[in-house]
Every structure is written in structure tokens, then in C-alpha cells.
Structure 1
Amino acid sequence: MLIIIIILLLLSSLLLSIDPATTTTTTFPDGHSTVLPDPSTFFSPNLISSPLPTNTFFTNLIIENGTQHEYIHPYTIKSSHSTLSLSYPSLFSNSSFTNQIFTPDINISISQNPKPNRNHTVSSFSDLSLTLDFKPFLRFFLVRGSPYLTCQVLQNVPLIILTGHNIINFVPNGLKTKYKIFLSNNQVWILYSSTPIGLTRKASTIVSETFRGVIRLALLPNPNSGMEQVLDKFSSCYPVSGHALFRESFSIEYRWKSRGLGDLLMLANPLHLKLVKDSSVKILDEFKYQSVDGELVGVVGSSWKLKTDPVKVTWHSIKGVEKDSYPEIVKALVEDVKGLDSSNMSTNSSYFYGKLVARTARLALIAEEVEYVDVIPKVRQYLKDTIEPWLDGTFVGNGFLYDKTWGGIITRQGSNDRMGDFGFGIFNDHHFHIGYFLYGIAVLAKIDPAWGEKYRPQAYSLMLDFMTLGKGSDLKYTRLRMFDLWKLHSWAAGLNEFEDGRNQESTSEAVNAYYAAALMGLAYDDPRLVALGSLLTSLEIRAAQTWWHVKEGSTLYGAEFTRTNRVVGILWQNKRESVLWFAPAEQKEFRLGIQLLPILPVSEVLFSDHEYAKQLVEWALPSLKREGVGEGWKGFVYALEGVYDKENALKKIRKLTGHDDGNSLSNMLWWIFSR
């Protein structure tokens, strides 16, 4: 079966789409939330009938007052009082964090005295773009990775362009379709217009004559380079939307819709540049903008094909377990299974409960691999007893509900408490929580196919909550709820307003979510689900290795931050932090552990760079000398040490007196003996 699935994954004609028939229903009861915001405040009425994005790059623009800034690469934008503010953010870095600083360099509006309560409206959105309207006069095409900000002036009105800096010089071309604006902070901006526009400078304000058409603004990062000629050349072609297409295995195609003449110029982030496999695009190596994500490089082409490394989705270890180790693993298995008692579940939290379910599912797979199936019946019964109440709605104290307003699953605890289940009710951490449940469901469906078929609708509803590919009002869930198709990794934060935008802490739990979905595809003989889960798993891994894993000598971040940190704690759209939500920076074992748990066969792929694993462990080991360090967190450090020093790691693991609630001695021994 595995060989057949792998062959199917490699077929370039395999469309990565879930059967639409499974996406139009939900099996969980409708819930009423008292904590979710009203989407009609900012979304156009024609969008309200469809499932809406709850964890996207423009979330700050659709919650609270909609006035918190967002990063669209390479610019940060902020909407307030009928004015759009544009910033080319400066970078600040020290040993604790690296962040981008928002300064409103350019402000665009049609009036110097805008109505204070006038909101912007999201009139359309796509995978890579957002259309923001200031009705009835202005429309902004906010396309990620565009070196230009594009504004369509819908009616004949005078524009107001205000800057917080002094205007040092102001130079039009002969046709008045291009203006260079020199600011006192040493920035040079270029304004392009689709037709001639008369502009007048008054102190720090530029006022236009009555104008209708398109204007584009671009920062010129290096006035003494050839970048101005590049901006001039491609200024007439502007993108209005961008989409990600899933046509081949382990591949994504970007395709932009554009207007105007000429070729399309966009910017690629460092991960894009690693993955671009398309001879039809031209990379402009010297055309660069700075970013907290690393240099953004110019790419010419209206479509790109990105190809990532294949990831084998396997139930068991990739290289196999040493047979000599079977007796020790079996001994641990017997003890771990002996302790299973579903009546003593210590939590009703969807996150911690899911971890316990997945921990137990690992025991069944380890038992298969070491050929000790005697424990599987008890594991199977435990999984049934713990998973079924969440799927059939009989779990006391919590459970899954369906929210019609935004289109997604919430929990009972999260329906009336923003902090309940770590914010699950406002669509925070969905892939983390559900990923653990999916792992348990996948394993149970594997060892008990009849059970799997009985609960297949509920299993798919959970998976589709964050892995729906389709779009439209007939669907129940929004498209790829947690996954950012431009950054190519997930965000954990839901409908929360944050100054630094979306964030994610645990990349390994994100990997687990898509990996578990792929395993579910194996259990249900669904090659399309295997293909999609495997693709997202691979991309999440590549993103973690690019932005979270900080290798010695890396130049991606500031020198002081790189010297002090071997792994990012919380990664934000605008910031890299050394702290965690639950631990300070000096507790390094927490940072290592939260980027490794849960330990799975795919963890070997996530930490395939053994030299980096050694750097990370050596950086974290001194933290274990503190008084009161938890045994579970020590275990993760030792597990990663086993990647390059198996014998010493094994000695330390044997001395542990406890394990993380999602881990076990059986799993630790399985990991070490499969190195």
C-alpha cells in the first residue's frame, strides 16, 4: 500500500484537491459564540455568506477598529480615518529580538479632514492579496510582495499625500506621470500615474489636481543603483490579485492577475528563492528590499512554480528500529500501556486532551514496529473511549461545535471565553489541537477500519476545518485556515489584534498537524489527502528550517541576535522573539522542546541537519543545570542529542524520572533506537 501511495504522490497529474462532496457538510452541532467579532463591520456584504479567513495576513484590518498595521512585504500599511499609511519599515535588532519599526512615511487620502468613523471595506481577497476600499473614491490593491503600492482612484477627486518627514525635493518628469519625492529621513519615493497628474508641494503635504486613474508608489532603496530603471520599466503592469494553484505533487504555482502593459515585477522571500523551479521567470539578483524575513529579491513573471522536497509519510520509523533493542522497548511499552485508564483523564482542554490521545496512539504504532501486538487491544479501547465522546458530542465539559458566522469549528469552552482552550473559540491554534486528535483518529482507523468508517464524517470535518482547499459559499470551512501561502508556513494566532501581526511558536506541532492529516489519508486510502498533507508538511518543515532554526554564522538576522539564539521563540510577521508565551528566553530547553514535540518519524526530517541539531543542543544543555528543570523538557534536549550522539543520549534518557504529557519512555526509546 505504501509503495502505491508514494507512486501516486509522484504523478504530476495528481490534482491536490479534496472531494468537494466532503467539504459541504459539518457533523458537529451549531454553536453560538459570545466572543467572536462581527465580520460585517469590514467585509463587503457579498463576502459574508462564504466562510471567512480567520488567521490571515490582513487580520488586523478586520477586527477591533481595523486600525492596527499589517505587513504586506516590503511595506507595512495602516488604515485609519479614510487614510492609508505606508511605511518601509526600519529594522532593529539586539540579542533578545529583531523587529520592524512602523513609521508612517506616506499617507494617502482624499481629504485633510476625513470623517473619523469611516471604515475601510474588504471588497475581495485571495491567497496572496487583498482589495481594500475607501468608498466611494479609493481602492487599494494590496498584493503581497509587490514593490509598488497600487491605488485606483475611482472618481475625479484631488488626492492628499502627506508625509511625517520634511520633503527635501520634489521632481516630476516631463509628462507628469512620474515624480521623485526626496524625504528628510533619506528615503526616496517614486510616484507613477496612469495619466498625467498635477501635483503641488506644500510643506510636508502633496496635493493633486482632480484625478481619476491609477497611481503607484515605490520606495527606491538604493538611489545610486540601477533599481530606479527597473522600477520605471515595470511600473505600468500592476497586480490586482494573486492565487496559489495545486496542480502537481509537492508543488505550488503562484499566478497573479494583472492589468496594464508589460511584464509583472514581484518580490520573492528567501524560501521562495530556494523553491522556484520555473525557467519562465527571471530573477533580478541585484533588485532587493530589506525585510525581517531576509532580503526580498525581484522576480519578473506573472506565474511562478515552487517545488519542495518530497517527504515520506510513514507510520513507523524511516530507517527502522534495531532488533536488539526490542526487549527494552517492549518492557517500557508494557508499563506505559498498563497505566492507561480513560476514566482518569486529567483534563478537558482540547489541547492537552489531544496530546494524551496522540501519546497513546504512538504506543500502538511502536508496538507494531517492535512486533509486540499484545498491548494493541488495550490501546485501541483507550483510543475509542477517549476520542468518541468528542466526535459524537457526549464529552462532558467541552466538545466541538460549528460556528456559522465565520465558518469553522469552535469548542464549548471557547464559545464564551476568549482564552478558553488557548483561544480555540477565536480560531487560535486550530492546527495544534486538531492535529493531535487527527493523529489519534488516523491510528485508530488504521488498527480498526470498521471504527474508522463509522466516524469518517467527523474525522473529515475536523481535518477540513484547517485543510479545505476549495472556496465558495457552498463550503463550510475557509480555505487553508492556518497556512500562509506566501510565507509557506502556518500562523497560530486567530482573530486577535497584535501590533506585530500573526505569530507562531511551535513549528513542530504545525508539522504534526499536516503529517497527521496525511496519515489519516493513508488510513482511509485517500491519496489526495496524503498528497496535500505531505506537501504542507514539507513546506512547514522548510519554513521552520529557514526562519526558526538559527544556525551559527547565519546572516538572515542581526549578528547579535544570531550569536545569542539558536532557535526563534515566537515568530511574528514583524518580529522575531527569543521568549515564549510561557517561558523567558533563558529557559532554552523550553524553546528547543516546543520546536521538537511531539517526537514522530517526521521529526527526523525536521531535524535532518545534524550539525545544526548539535549546535542547538549544545546551546540548550547549560540551561538544564538550573534547579527545578522539568524532566519532560530535559527529555526533548536528550532526544535531539540522540541525532548525533546516540549512546550519551540513551544514558541520559534511561535516568529520566518523567516525560512530557504527550511523550513516553516507549517513544523516547523508539526514537533513540531508530537513529
Structure 2
Amino acid sequence: MGANRRRGPLDPSDPLASVLGRKNAVPQFYQPPIIPAPIPHQETIFRDLDDNNNSGGNTAEETAAAVTFEADWDRKATILEPISTDPPLSIFKERVHPVKPMRVRYADRSKPQPTNKFYGNLMLGDSHAPIWTHPYGLRWDSIGQTQWGISISHIDDSSKALGPLEKIDESGSGPGSSKYYLNPFLVSIGLSATELDIHHDMTVGDFGEFSCAIELTPASERALERQDRPESFLRIPVVRGMAFISAVYKEMTPQFFSNILIRELTLVPQPLPQGWVKYRFLIENGVTWLLYAKPDRSEDASLRLEMRGQGQAIATSGRFTGLVQIAKLPVGKENETETVYDQAMGVYPTEGELIIRPKYVNTQSGGYRIDWKLAGDTTMQFIHFTLPHHRDALTDKTMPTALVLPSTTKGKMVAYTGSSWHLYESERLTIEFLPDGWSENVRPEQLEAIRNQARLDIERDFSEETDLNSMYFAGKGLAKFALLCLVVHDVLHESEEVQKRCLDKLKGAFARYLENRQKFPLVYDKIWRGVISVQGLDHGPLTDFGNSWYNDHHYHYGYFIHAAAIIRHLDPTWRTEELSNYVNNLLRDVANPSSKDTYFPRFRSFDWFMGHSWSLGIFVSLDGKDEESTSEDINLYYAMSLWGRVSNRPEMDNLGEMMLTIARRSIQAYFLMEDDNTNHPPGFIGNKVTGILSENKVDHTTYFSPRVECIQGIQMIPATPALPMVRRKEFVRQEWQEQLQSRVDEIDDGWRSILMMNYATLDREVAWNYFSESDSLIPLDDGITLTWAMFYVASLEASA
């Protein structure tokens, strides 16, 4: 019996809603953020070399690589070129998706529509579900008598809500950890205008990798129907990591609101640059929010605010055209952080540009860059919030400030100065088809046992086991038989006849999908612009785990791309053009790197700010986008790299390696929690894996089962040479001892095979004996052959 999983939208009637109004639900649980010393940039490195002491701690090789890294940004070469600009394959018949993007600005409707980006809730349903920029949460509100506009929320660690403790197994043993934690969305302050009422319009557009833009207009402007710019509006660039919520007003009368209520509204008398005013909003939970404002025209009056009851502040200075910026002061550090904001007011980001250069010759180092595009007064000191995995890689082109706020689910965020982020990776991962060192690690008697099993597995019905009504399970089936053929050819060096028999069966099974003859073919959706299974369009959004609603494409298609890379590796001449076009269409769907390709959105799943993909597609979710299976996430990047290698596309190889390297850092920081993890509450890290990590909530569960082996095991498939690169040995040890050891003997289905392949990292002999010496048929996950399980276990280094 194979491991199963189910995906679907998060339930809007979340039972945790009852805690949303609680304050101080849990005690303070975070430690101060660890801010590593920035990696020296070029000038610092040259100084170290001149002094001949290398005071930065770099080896000569690392120093030279970092110098190259900094200097390389002046080159024009980039790997973010389109895979193709041709129309999708004609075998993918065109269909019109029943779900349409909502409230998209007219100028953006003709472009590919993002499906898995953090701002997706703005385009779905009634558009009122929140989004998270980190550290802030935003929500478009059109409720009540006064709450019309953009609501802003930020929750301190002390107000995060933790769920009840859960025991590790049914017997009640184990210390137990909180099943979940979340951040109640409490409206601390909101942006509005007196011209907005319950009928006002919200439009969203300017879609990018890190940003979008929200525009609010009076109903009379009819913004949803017009092609030109409205005469009056409130426009907010929404950017990952933004330090201020910046609002551009045009001919509107500013109005602000708070559900927590405003205790004091104070006009700060200190001198500011000409035209600027600053207010402090002290709200009833003891938190101070700052508001800066400046009109565009010097002859216009400065913004003046007055209270209207405890929940509102309204401009008495009339209509306003200019910039308003809002930010939160960290409790207990108001004075030093207010100075940081004062020095940064007036400048704000509108989007981020991603730059990735080719891999450097003779070195595995490299990196990527994010250039924040700025507006406003660019002479001011720009600041932007970083996440922990950014700080591990940032060079000292940027520098930390004293401003620290918690994110919702990923630890402390520290504001850094500098509009260009250079993120240096000293070791860009390069992973081969087979594990490193396998020929030294696999003993001769093990090879013979693997050979005997492979000859049995070759006789299986490849076609029957892959002719399925699910792209997910079909992909797993094709990949497992591809790995079988890889072992037969590259490890066992079986006779040509045996190799051909295995590969011909694999090609025959893959051909069904190459020709789109499977039970539920793929189609091209003209609305969101993507390749989806027809199954959901005909049988409902949750079929095939929501593939037709853009769930999990990086999981599903990663298996197909991996299988195709192995086929091309074993036989470069097989249906060359057809296979390339098919795989490239799947890659364009899930990881199109260029806006020049107008048939697919750019990087559908991967979030370059967060460093991993999001699984949730075009479903409304009150907790934002989510990710469940980190191992299937990295499988896509691994497959991309292999496909680029065998297809003579070095830019694809480089891109897959870079995404894999970044994801490793992010996954180890946020998803796989070792005992010293400081990015999640101490009361939660005993779970060892996050389960379902959403933008606003972490829940130690899966969409298909609450069983511990499922929650942990979905982070272990598929077992390929990429997996140990992400799952550190120390993490595997802690997870085994704290979560799995007491459970494994009770498991009698395919999940045990997954756990035992993972356990081989700690004790390959015990794992080898499990797979090779069992007297009865071992239940295997449906993505594993016993041949691959035995080879994978034997290929690992001997236990220390």
C-alpha cells in the first residue's frame, strides 16, 4: 500500500477562529535574532588580502570566489532567459478555466496571471482574505460603517496563539508539542479616505516576483471598467519585506481606523524636512504606530489629523495628494527604532528585480541579487526587512539596523539598509544522477542482491502501474521505474538485452503521457495560462489534489521531469524533439524564468523572497499560501538541473542548482527544525517538521492524515541523491529519536519503507537488513521499487 496524500483549500470555517480575538495568548517565546556578520564584499576582501591576514575568516579560495561574485554583477549575461516563447504544444487542447481572476487592473488582464503568489487572495473570491508581506499582514476591508480600506496587522510573539500539546503516539508517550501556532489578524491600523464607502472599488495589478500594487478608488471612478488612470485614488505598492506601508494619495481625504482603538494621537513637534509631518498612534494594546506624510506640491497644506471617537482619525486639512507611510515601533525599543524610521521616511520600494548570473568557471560558488526599485525621496536611507536565511547569505553591501520585528511563521526580521541585496552562496549544489561515492560504499555481495531484485522488478507491468487517473501518482510511478532502469544501466551494467528491456518498458509507459493519451489529458488553460489536468475541470477542483486549480504543480511535474532526464541520459536519441518540447512545456508552467514568455506566468510556484515554493493555487485561504512536502519541492529543482545537463541547456542546469541551494537554506531554517531552531516557538520545535507551513499558521499535520509517520514521511520522498543534501544527519537523528523511533515497529504499510530509507542515514546496516532480509513481502510506497530502496540504502556512507 503506497503513501497517499490529499490536497485542497483551507477551510474558511477554521475552528481556531475562536482565538482570533485573544491578546497575550502565550508567553514570550522567541530568543533575540542571531544576526551573522555580513559576508565581506569586494572592498573588504581586497583589504584583507592586502593586510595578508584575511581578517574576515575567509579561505583564499572563498575570498577569490567572493571577489568574483561581486565583480560578476557588472556582466550582462543572465540565466533568466525564456525556455521558449513558442505557443504551448498543440496536444494540450485549450480550455477556459471556470475560476476567473478578480479585480485585476485592466492593463494587467492580458498578461499571464499569477496563481501561487503571496498576493493571490486579492484576486480570488471576494478579495477580502488577507495577505502577508512579512512582517505585516494586509487585508482589503469593505465592512461596517468606517472600516473601508486596507487594514494592517502585526502580531508580536507574545500574542501568537499556540495549540494544545499532542502526544507522539497513541499510547500517550513522549513529551508532546503544540500541534499548531498562528497569528490572529488584529486590525491595528487601517488606511482609508472619506471618499471611500462600502461600494468603493479595489483593483490589483503590477504583478511581480516580490510585489503587486493595490489601488482603491471611489465607486464613481468605475476603476474596474476604465483603461486610463482614475482622477482620484489611494495606491499602495505591496512588496515583500517592506518596512513601511506606503500609500500614495491623489485628491483624497485621508482617514485612518483601528479595531484595537486609538488611545492617543500625537503630532510630533520635532523638526522634519520641509512639508513632512509625523504622528504617533498609541493604540490600546500599548503599541505605537508611526505615520509620516508629505504633500507632493509645496503649496499644499500639510496633513492634519483629528480623532473621531476612539476608532478613527480623519484629515481636517482637506483633500491630499502625496505620500503617507505607516510603520510599527517594536515594544520596548521605541526610541532607537523611531530614529531608524526617521532616517528612512520618504523612500519606498515598488518592486524587486531578480538577477542570477551564470555559474562561475572552476568554482561552485555563486549567488543571486535582488534590486529593490525605489520611489519617493531616494536620497533618504532605504531600509528593508530581511529573514533569517537572507542574513546568512547577505554580503555587506547591506547592513543591519536596530529595527527588529517578528515575522508570522519564520522568525525575526531585521531591517537592513541598502537597496541592492547581494546574496552569496559559497557552495552551489551540484548533484548527479547517482549518489556520490556509491561505487565505494556498495559492497559486492550487496550488488548481487540488488541485481537479483532488479531482474524481478523489471518484470513488473510498467504500463499498468503508471496508467493512472492522477498526474501525481503517474509521475511517481514513472520516476520509480526510471530509477530502476538507471540502476540496471549505470550501477549493475547489465547486458544490453536487459538494459533495453527495462528502458523500452519505461519509454512505452512515458509515451502515453508524451502523446497526452492518459486517462485525464493535460490541457492549456487560457485564463490563468498554464498546463493543467482536465480532470478537475470535469470532475471538481479537489480531484488529483487540485492540479486543475494549480495546486502542487512543482510536486507533480517534478517527477515527470526527473523521469525524462533519466530517459535522455540513458538514450539521448529517443524522440528527441518531442521529449524536449513536452518537458519544456512542463517547466514553463511551473518555473518559467522570463516575462518574455507570454504563455506562462513567471516562476509560478517558487517564492524568491521566501526561498521555497508554495503549493496552494487558486483557492482562497485565510492563512495565505502553504507548503507541505519540502522533499518534493527540492525534487523539482534537482530534476530541472538534471534536465538542463542532459539537454545541453546550461542555464537550466544553473537555475535548478541555484534554486536547490536556496531551498536547502530555507528548508533547514523553517521546515526541518533541529533542537536549536530559533525561528519557531520552543513549544513547537519538538515536532521536528512543520507539517503544513502557511504564511500565517504552522500546523503539524497533513492534508491527508494526522499520523506522525505521514507528517514526517511526506518530507522524505522521493529518496534521491538530493535528499541528504537538505536533511542533515543531525536533524535525522533528532527526528528519529524524538518522533519516529517509538512508532516505526507499529507501521505496517508503505510509510515504513519511507522511514527506513531515511533511517539509513543513521544506520545503513539496519536499513539494508530490513529491505534485503525480510521473509515476507515488504510494503513499499508507490514511488519506490525494492531495487532502488536497496541500492539507495547501500550507497550511503557507513554509520559513524
Normalising by structure 1, we get a TM-score of 0.93
Closer, same or farther: CA 350–414 of 1 in aligned 2, 3 Å: same
The within-5 A match list for 1:375-390 is 375-390=498-513
Is the Cα–Cα contact under 8 Å of residues 458 and 502 in structure 2 kept in the other structure? yes
| Alpha-carbon distance in 2 for matches of 1:577, 1:16 | 38
Stretch moving more, 27-36 or 121-130:
27-36
Q: Is residue 299 from structure 1 mapped to residue 425 from structure 2 by the alignment? A: no
Deviation of 1:35 (Å): 5.0
Q: Secondary structure, in 3 states, of the residue corresponding to 2:138?
A: strand
Partner of residue 313, structure 2: 206
Task: Spell out, residue by residue over 1:30-67, the C-alpha distance to the aligned partner (whole angstroms, 9 max, x if none).
Answer: 5455654222x321122122211110000111001110
Partner of residue 127, structure 1: 209
Task: Spell out, residue by residue over 1:595-644, the C-alpha distance to the aligned partner (whole angstroms, 9 max, x if none).
Answer: 0101101112122x211111112221212244xx3432111221222112
Q: Could you tell me which of 769, 781, 795 is aligned with 1:660?
A: 781
Q: Is residue 102 from structure 1 mapped to residue 185 from structure 2 by the alignment? A: yes
Deviation of 1:410 (Å): 0.9
Q: Is residue 461 from structure 1 mapped to residue 588 from structure 2 by the alignment? A: no
Q: Secondary structure, in 3 states, of the residue corresponding to 2:306?
A: strand
Is the Cα–Cα contact under 8 Å of residues 120 and 133 in structure 1 kept in the other structure? yes
Deviation of 1:131 (Å): 0.8
| Alpha-carbon distance in 2 for matches of 1:454, 1:248 | 26
| Alpha-carbon distance in 1 for matches of 2:534, 2:334 | 59
| Alpha-carbon distance in 1 for matches of 2:492, 2:358 | 37
Deviation of 1:307 (Å): 2.3
The within-5 A match list for 1:318-333 is 318-321=436-439, 322-324=442-444, 325-333=446-454
| Alpha-carbon distance in 2 for matches of 1:447, 1:389 | 19
Deviation of 1:390 (Å): 1.7
| Alpha-carbon distance in 1 for matches of 2:592, 2:124 | 23
Q: Secondary structure, in 3 states, of the residue corresponding to 2:703?
A: coil
Partner of residue 133, structure 2: 72
CA RMSD of aligned residues (A): 2.1
Partner of residue 316, structure 1: 434
Q: Which amino acid in structure 2 is aligned with residue 524 of structure 1?
A: S
Task: Spell out, residue by residue over 1:551-589, the C-alpha distance to the aligned partner (whole angstroms, 9 max, x if none).
Answer: 1232221121123x11111111111111111111xx221
Task: Spell out, residue by residue over 1:373-413, the C-alpha distance to the aligned partner (whole angstroms, 9 max, x if none).
Answer: 33321222122212222222333x21111112111101121
Partner of residue 179, structure 1: 279
Q: Is residue 162 from structure 1 mapped to residue 257 from structure 2 by the alignment? A: yes
Is the Cα–Cα contact under 8 Å of residues 247 and 323 in structure 2 kept in the other structure? yes
Q: Secondary structure, in 3 states, of the residue corresponding to 2:253?
A: strand
Deviation of 1:173 (Å): 2.2
Is the Cα–Cα contact under 8 Å of residues 16 and 529 in structure 1 kept in the other structure? no
| Alpha-carbon distance in 1 for matches of 2:566, 2:371 | 37
Is the Cα–Cα contact under 8 Å of residues 515 and 534 in structure 1 kept in the other structure? yes
Is the Cα–Cα contact under 8 Å of residues 150 and 217 in structure 1 kept in the other structure? yes
Q: Could you tell me which of 709, 721, 732 is aligned with 1:613?
A: 732
Closer, same or farther: CA 515–292 of 1 in aligned 2, 3 Å: same
Q: Could you tell me which of 319, 342, 346 is aligned with 1:232?
A: 342
Closer, same or farther: CA 462–28 of 1 in aligned 2, 3 Å: farther
Is the Cα–Cα contact under 8 Å of residues 467 and 509 in structure 2 kept in the other structure? no
Partner of residue 675, structure 2: 552
Closer, same or farther: CA 257–354 of 1 in aligned 2, 3 Å: same
| Alpha-carbon distance in 1 for matches of 2:405, 2:121 | 27
Q: Secondary structure, in 3 states, of the residue corresponding to 1:556?
A: coil
Structure 2: which 5+ residue stretches go unaligned? 1-64, 143-147, 164-177, 218-231, 296-301, 360-365
Is the Cα–Cα contact under 8 Å of residues 103 and 203 in structure 2 kept in the other structure? yes
Closer, same or farther: CA 20–34 of 1 in aligned 2, 3 Å: closer
Q: Could you tell me which of 67, 84, 105 is aligned with 1:22?
A: 84
| Alpha-carbon distance in 2 for matches of 1:468, 1:600 | 24
Stretch moving more, 101-110 or 57-66:
101-110
Closer, same or farther: CA 53–519 of 1 in aligned 2, 3 Å: same
The within-5 A match list for 1:314-463 is 314-321=432-439, 322-324=442-444, 325-343=446-464, 345=466, 347-374=468-495, 375-395=498-518, 397-416=519-538, 417-455=540-578, 456-463=580-587
Q: Which amino acid in structure 2 is aligned with residue 184 of structure 1?
A: E
Task: Spell out, residue by residue over 1:144-195, the C-alpha distance to the aligned partner (whole angstroms, 9 max, x if none).
Answer: 111210000022x211111112322121123661001111111100000124
Normalising by structure 2, we get a TM-score of 0.79
Q: Secondary structure, in 3 states, of the residue corresponding to 2:139?
A: strand
The within-5 A match list for 1:499-538 is 499-538=622-661
| Alpha-carbon distance in 1 for matches of 2:81, 2:305 | 54
Q: Which amino acid in structure 1 is aligned with residue 645 of structure 2?
A: L
| Alpha-carbon distance in 2 for matches of 1:469, 1:232 | 38
Closer, same or farther: CA 437–344 of 1 in aligned 2, 3 Å: closer
Task: Spell out, residue by residue over 1:307-346, the C-alpha distance to the aligned partner (whole angstroms, 9 max, x if none).
Answer: 2331112011112242422111111111111113414646
Partner of residue 228, structure 2: none
Task: Spell out, residue by residue over 1:244-274, the C-alpha distance to the aligned partner (whole angstroms, 9 max, x if none).
Answer: 2222434221111112131210000011111
Q: Could you tell me which of 323, 330, 351 is aligned with 1:241?
A: 351
| Alpha-carbon distance in 2 for matches of 1:640, 1:29 | 39
Q: Could you tell me which of 592, 616, 631 is aligned with 2:749?
A: 631
The within-5 A match list for 1:556-575 is 556-563=679-686, 565-575=687-697
Closer, same or farther: CA 28–428 of 1 in aligned 2, 3 Å: farther
Is the Cα–Cα contact under 8 Å of residues 114 and 207 in structure 2 kept in the other structure? no
Is the Cα–Cα contact under 8 Å of residues 403 and 410 in structure 1 kept in the other structure? yes
Closer, same or farther: CA 16–432 of 1 in aligned 2, 3 Å: farther
Deviation of 1:285 (Å): 5.3
Partner of residue 233, structure 2: 137
Closer, same or farther: CA 465–635 of 1 in aligned 2, 3 Å: same
| Alpha-carbon distance in 1 for matches of 2:586, 2:334 | 54
